[in-house]
Amino acid sequence: MTSYNFSAGPGVLPSSVIQQIRKDLEQEENSHYSILEISHRSAKFEQIIAHAEKRLRELMAIPADYAVLFIQGGGSLQFEMLPLNLANQKKKIAVLDSGNFANKAAKAAEAVGKSVEIVGSSKADKYRFLPELPGDFQAEQYDYLHITTNNTIEGSTYHQDNLPQTTGHLVADMSSNILAEPYDVTKFSAIFAGAQKNLGPAGVTVAIIKKDWLAEQKITGVGPMMRYQSYIDKDSMYNTPPVFSIYALSLVLDWVSDQGGVAQMYQNNQKKAEKLYQYLDESDFYQVPVQGADRSLTNVVFTTGDADLDRKISQQADQEGIHNLAGHRSVGGFRASLYNAQPMAAVDTLIAFLERAKQEN
């Protein structure tokens, strides 16, 4: 039985990448010198990490005045590194509260001693749409505006043509839709993304930082591991990097490139998401809470409106090899994550299952 994995992260990777990893391990098996055992100072790894950076720069058209860094600790550590490194003039940041992770970022910035202002929120409306920047937003009062491009739990996205317009620095948590649709990097002063959705296995996070902005900062009381400059100075090898995770990420980037790059990913993701949203919208059984324009291509959130029934159907799905369909524990319902590596066959199988579940319930 083919199974499908709708996990919101760590999520599905391209099958060919899993195969490549397995083959590489097989070939290296008795060498005592596999990718799991080599020094980060080895020529082999230096090539891998340089290649990964180059590929990501190509795929996202990242200009030379941005650093591309590989850091451990996930998006949550970036919630702390960003304000420590980049909120040193006003010591105050603005956050658009579009969901759970925007809130976590706000709380982390406060925890490290910065002021935080929630300049827009759709919390009162259960995040069914995205908060907009108020017309009288004063960018100069803040070091930067923090947004979450894709809200993994709530299923909404600031798409490329709908980004908040600010004259100040825009910082984006792109963890769950990096490489899922094309964003113009030059609109941002910093972007970060945990790998475990669209870039590779968990264990490495990409940070893309505008270097002249970082250079303006006066940073005190922050250790070297929490400073972007340490990673810039040492090509992400200030200390031992997560070698295997970066190797796997480089394979995923190659796969994206081979498939036709971000433009092709975007086209595939639109097809997958449109098919599923269309089915859900036309059914008289499932509802999508998020309004049309703000809907995510990577995390499709829906519900029958009956929490017990949602739970029952998710469990049934799991038994049929359709894994991790349950929504995040904080919101319930369903969530189908359609990351780049999710094949269209997964969507077709899911729709067929949902239709059966509808008939039976």
CA distances from 321 to 195, 219, 312, 327, 353 (A): 25, 50, 15, 17, 10
Give least dist CB 23 to its own copies, A.
9
203 versus 289: smaller Cβ distance to its own copies: 203
Question: Least Å distance between CB 71 and its own copies?
Answer: 8
Q: Which residues contact 186 (CB under 8 A, 6 or more apart)?
A: 63
Query: Is 30 annotated as contributing to ligand binding?
Result: no
Alpha-carbon gap, residue 309 to 335, rounded angstroms:
14
To the nearest whole angstrom, how small is the minimum distance from the Cβ of residue 202 to its own copies?
Answer: 5
DSSP calls for 107-156:
HHHHHTT-EEEEEEE-GGGTTSSPPPPPTT--GGGSSEEEEESEETTTTE
Nearer to its own copies, 56 or 346 (CB): 346
At 284, which amino acid appears?
D
- 334 annotated as a binding-site residue: no
Q: Is the dihedral of CA 123, 129, 134, 140 positive or negative?
A: positive
Nearer to its own copies, 243 or 297 (CB): 243
Q: Which is nearer to its own copies, 169 or 335 (CB)?
A: 335
Our CB check for its own copies shows the closer of 240 and 267 to be 240
Residue with Cβ nearer its own copies (62 or 225): 225
Length of the chain: 361
Instruction: Write down the least CB distance from residue 335 to its own copies, Å.
Output: 11
Relative to beta strand 334-337, strand 299-302 is antiparallel
Helices 261-282 and 344-360: angle between axes, nearest 10 degrees: 10
Rounded to 10 degrees, the C-alpha dihedral 207/213/216/221 comes to -20
76 is in an annotated binding site: yes
Is 41 part of any known ligand binding site?
Answer: yes
Task: State yes or no: 186 annotated in a binding site.
Answer: no
**CB-nearer residue toward its own copies: 2 or 359:** 2
DSSP 227-263: -HHHHHHTTT-SS---HHHHHHHHHHHHHHHHHTHHH
**Residue 238 beta carbon to its own copies: minimum distance, rounded to whole angstroms:** 7
| Shortest distance in whole angstroms from residue 58 CB to its own copies | 24
- Residue 114 Cβ, how far from its own copies at the closest point, in Å? 10
Q: Which H or E run contains 301?
A: strand 299-302
Q: Single out the residue of 192, 243, 195, 159 nearest to residue 62, CA to CA.
A: 192
**Of the candidates 237, 4, 289, which has an alpha carbon nearest to the alpha carbon of residue 122?**
289
Task: Give the nearer residue to its own copies in terms of CB position, either 75 or 120.
Answer: 75
Residue ranges in contact with its own copies by CB under 8 A = 2-5, 7-13, 15, 18-19, 21-22, 25-26, 28-34, 36-40, 42, 72-77, 79-80, 107-108, 111-113, 194, 196, 200-204, 221-226, 238-245, 248, 323-324, 346
* 3-class DSSP assignment, residue 207: strand
**Cis peptide bond prior to 164, omega within 30° of 0:** no
> What is the nearest approach in angstroms of its own copies to the Cβ of residue 80?
4
The torsion angle over the Cα atoms of residues 191, 5, 35 and 30, rounded to 10 degrees, is 180
List binding-site positions for pyridoxal 5'-phosphate: 75-76, 101, 152, 173, 196, 239-240
Q: Which residues are annotated as a binding site?
A: 41, 75-76, 101, 152, 173, 196, 239-240
What residues are designated binding site for L-glutamate? 41
